[in-house]
């Protein structure tokens, strides 16, 4: 098995419009190489959030 697997499922929704779902699966060993592990709780920022102007673009 590869370290990363991406599946695309296509079908029709109840309204007849196309409906797509993407499923991404990672092996636990691949996460460990990145310093993560499958039992790790959801991460939260360790540092303060960036200032509000951070995402603004020059106009």
pLDDT of amino acid 22: 92
Amino acid 8: pLDDT: 93
Confidence label for 1 from pLDDT (cuts 50, 70 and 90)? low
DSSP assignment of 9-58: EEEE-TTSSEEEEEEEEE-HHHHHHTT--TTPPPP--SSPPPPGGGGPPP
- Write down the domain spans for the chain: 1-36
């Amino acid at each position: 098995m590869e370290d990363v697997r991406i599946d695309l499922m296509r079908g029709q929704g109840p309204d007849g419009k196309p409906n797509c779902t993407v499923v991404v699966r990672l092996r636990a060993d691949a996460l460990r190489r990145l310093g993560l592990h499958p039992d790790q709780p959801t991460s939260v920022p360790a540092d303060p959030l960036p200032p509000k102007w951070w995402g603004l673009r020059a106009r």
